[in-house]
Structure 1
Amino acid sequence: MKDIFIITSYYPPETGAASNRIFQLADGLCKQGYNVTVVTPLPNYPTGRIFKDYKGKLIRTSVENNITVHRLWIYASNSKNKVLRLLAMLSYGISLLSFYTFKKIPKIVIVQSPPLLVAFTSVLFLNKRNRKLILNVSDLWPKAGLDLGAFKKNFSYKVLEKIERFNYKNAHLVLGQSKEILSHVKSIFPNKQTFLYRNYPEFPIPEIPKTAAPAKKIKIVYAGLLGVAQGILKLCENLEYDRIEFHIYGAGAEENQITRFVKENKELPVYYHGEFQRKELHKELISYDLALIPLLNRIYGSVPSKIFEYAMLGLPLVYFGGGEGERIIKTYQLGWVAQEGNYASLNSVLKSIELKDVGYDVKSKIRLTAIKHFNFSEQLLALEAKI
């Protein structure tokens, strides 16, 4: 049985795409016969506070689903203050260095990036110790930060670019969730070994309900992080509600503002339902007609994992983010595309959709497409051949 370490900043019981993605990878490798160990901070995302059951701990080790999980101390913060965010990353980096010093590390290590500095800490320390390093890149930092307006092209940005290059250079294999990520890596290191590792889901698929009677309005849902990049508050302010209802699930930086908007605009059919665990969320989602996947700004390299998860649930999609995600929607005929950043285009697309366009037959077809093309098990077997 091969031993393998996964180093990540996000892991259940934290919610969201990042923790789901890493758990699925760990669980898949475990089921394939690997002895999997996950190293992660004490859970704190997205609240920026250590979860109640983990407070007062420097390290907590447990076995969960046959996976050994080491949870390390972190100075938790989701503050917009860059110094505090940097301190949080550095604190986890220090915990990692201490862990590496006193623990036996197997030959194969998968390192999640971003956070860029956390990945750098692992690559810097483990590269000198003859380990096979696999870098799992889910977003292109620092470029994504530039696209989001969080960074400027200054000295600090150049330092982060050098760190990024160091990570790619010293990884034996780079996994990328999008073709754009792999193209970026290859533009820097043409001979680097890469592998397209999409965020395909694997979960028990609930049955698609057959609507008893036609509704008066199309019920649209968004579920996920309520952060700046998603721009859900701006969506609430710019959607035209004459033919739609808008339902929101999740948590994040905009949560309070969205809650306030809903309370102050009771005449609008917009509803905030809070945060659900993934299994319960799926039961909720299949009752909707349509799922909306927005990005406030086009982020090069980003492909929201919601595309694959919603498609597996049979939900028709409206994609509002441009780039590779848009191409996937069109290629696999998963729904509609609105011009990125153009709310007039989005409202026009939504007005064009009829209830018959989001019925049972359409949903069944989308699900069959997802099962055929977004197969997690087949992808994992292909990855194993690379490991």
Structure 2
Amino acid sequence: MPNCLMIVENLPVPLDRRAWQEACALRDAGWDVTVICPATERHPEREIVFDGIRIYRHPLPLEASGALGFLLEYGAALFHETRLAFKAFRRHGFDIIHIANPPDLLFLVALPYKALGRPLIFDHHDICPELYESKFKKRGPMHALLRLFEKLTFLFADVVISANETFRELAITRGGMHPDDVFTVYGFPDLTKFKRIPTARADDAINVGYVGVMGAQDGVDNLIRAVAMLRSQSGLPRFTCTFVGAGPELAALKALAESLGVADICQFTGFLSGETLLAALSSFDIGVIPDPFDTYNDKISMCKVFEYATLGLPIVAFELGETKRLLGDAARYAPDHTPVGLASAISDLLKDESLRRIYAERARERARLHFHWQDQVTALLAAYDRALLRSTRGTHRSGQPAAIREERS
């Protein structure tokens, strides 16, 4: 049986939906899969087998800010990933090493195994230089350093898996990858697990919803400001706003809702997963993408685009390049990139139930026609075939699996 090692630093599996779906698809295709990822309070087990996938978890990196914080945070993570990669190699061996950014430093963990003939797949989840620029509104030495790390990652990668076609183009033009070595795999939901479920409604208020990370670049404050503007409008039906997710700005966003006098109609659920997440999303009547225009948001494929559309929600968004390419006319776009524009687009849907139905059907049809996870599985397996083709080594195995506690979902 072929085997692979996946390294994911952003979130633990199975919480990282994209990484977990990829791991499950590889397992179903006959691969023996080992994943290295962070541990959290919800997922503290350091060594388990979950749904047939071997998982090694390490302590979360220290959270800090600035250049020193960057080095401390990712230095700690790299230490644990290096340690666990060696453990996985000694116990099980692996034929391919698959790294998923951020950050663009995981190639350092992979280099010893590349020297032993194991091909490296770079799963390009995020564009880190643009993310830095979006978060800190500047470039400078750290931005240049991130560009260097990105360049080195592409240099050492045998195959790249891009999160969208924009990323694929960056891998080819900025990263110097050959087009035949770059495969696009979108993070579409797996419809066997992600679907609308019945929910009990406390009242008949229209529920405007947001799901996602709550960081400085995510624009959740735009939605809170829009909610405050909408509340002051006359003639609108009663509405509430539900915020699903967590992040470094969560406390500040709650304080903003208090200061604008809308805390009573804004519910912050915190991080949700599994059935609880599906229940919360199924309670939305309108899904909002408040991420503002910048060099980062304009290029990324947000999970909420796929999730809102799959659940058949009418969608409101700013006009961002990748978002509009994915949704076309299946979203109601704000007339400008301000909270006032966002409020205007939401207001149109709040006032008109028939318009909500039109956009809900457009979103549902868009997902039905275009957002197919099984098609992405085909591309994922093709990327693995390409990586094996580029490898000049024979089959290697090292060691026997050590006993790991098994857990089933």
CA-to-aligned-CA distance 1:262-293 (integer Å, 9 cap, x gap): 44525763332333223212122222211001
Give the TM-score normalised by structure 2: 0.80
2:108 corresponding residue in structure 1: 121
Is 2:186 aligned against 1:198?
yes
Shift of the 211–268 alpha-carbon distance from structure 1 to 2, 3 Å rule, reads: closer
Which runs of structure 2 are paired with 1:290-369 in the superposition (5 Å)? 290-298=286-294, 299=296, 300-320=298-318, 322-330=320-328, 333-338=329-334, 341-353=337-349, 354-359=352-357, 363-364=360-361, 366-369=363-366
Contact 2:34 2:53 in 1 (8 A): yes
2:58 corresponding residue in structure 1: 72
- Give 2:8's aligned amino acid: T
Of structures 1 and 2, the one with the larger relative CO (CA 8 A, separation 6+) is: 2
Contact 2:335 2:345 in 1 (8 A): no
Shift of the 103–66 alpha-carbon distance from structure 1 to 2, 3 Å rule, reads: closer
Equivalent of 2:164, from 178, 187, 191?
Answer: 178
CA distance in 2, matches of 1:207, 1:146: 36
Give the TM-score normalised by structure 1: 0.84
Shift of the 111–211 alpha-carbon distance from structure 1 to 2, 3 Å rule, reads: closer
Offset of 1:20 from its aligned partner? 1.4
Which runs of structure 2 are paired with 1:143-292 in the superposition (5 Å)? 143-149=130-136, 151-154=138-141, 156-188=142-174, 189=176, 191-192=178-179, 193-203=181-191, 204-207=193-196, 218-239=206-227, 240-241=229-230, 242=233, 243=236, 244-264=239-259, 265-266=261-262, 269-292=265-288
2:74 corresponding residue in structure 1: 89
CA-to-aligned-CA distance 1:160-207 (integer Å, 9 cap, x gap): 222211111221111111221111111131525111111111143545
CA distance in 2, matches of 1:61, 1:269: 42
Q: How many residues align?
A: 365
CA distance in 1, matches of 2:374, 2:43: 33
Contact 2:10 2:102 in 1 (8 A): no
Between the two proteins, what is the percent identity of the paired residues?
Answer: 22
CA distance in 2, matches of 1:98, 1:219: 47
Shift of the 10–36 alpha-carbon distance from structure 1 to 2, 3 Å rule, reads: same
CA distance in 2, matches of 1:368, 1:323: 20
Shift of the 278–338 alpha-carbon distance from structure 1 to 2, 3 Å rule, reads: farther
CA distance in 1, matches of 2:145, 2:43: 37
Cα RMSD over matched residues? 2.8
CA-to-aligned-CA distance 1:278-316 (integer Å, 9 cap, x gap): 321212222221100121342153110111112111112
Equivalent of 1:384, from 377, 381, 388?
Answer: 381
CA-to-aligned-CA distance 1:83-103 (integer Å, 9 cap, x gap): 234212111112222334444
CA distance in 2, matches of 1:379, 1:205: 16
CA distance in 1, matches of 2:177, 2:24: 32
Shift of the 274–141 alpha-carbon distance from structure 1 to 2, 3 Å rule, reads: closer
Is 2:99 aligned against 1:111?
yes
Deviates more, 1:100-109 or 1:131-140: 100-109
5+ residue gaps in structure 2? 385-409
Give the SS at the match of 2:270. coil
Is 2:9 aligned against 1:9?
yes
CA distance in 2, matches of 1:135, 1:258: 34
Shift of the 368–322 alpha-carbon distance from structure 1 to 2, 3 Å rule, reads: closer
Offset of 1:365 from its aligned partner? 5.2
5+ residue gaps in structure 1? 44-50
- Give 1:36's aligned amino acid: V
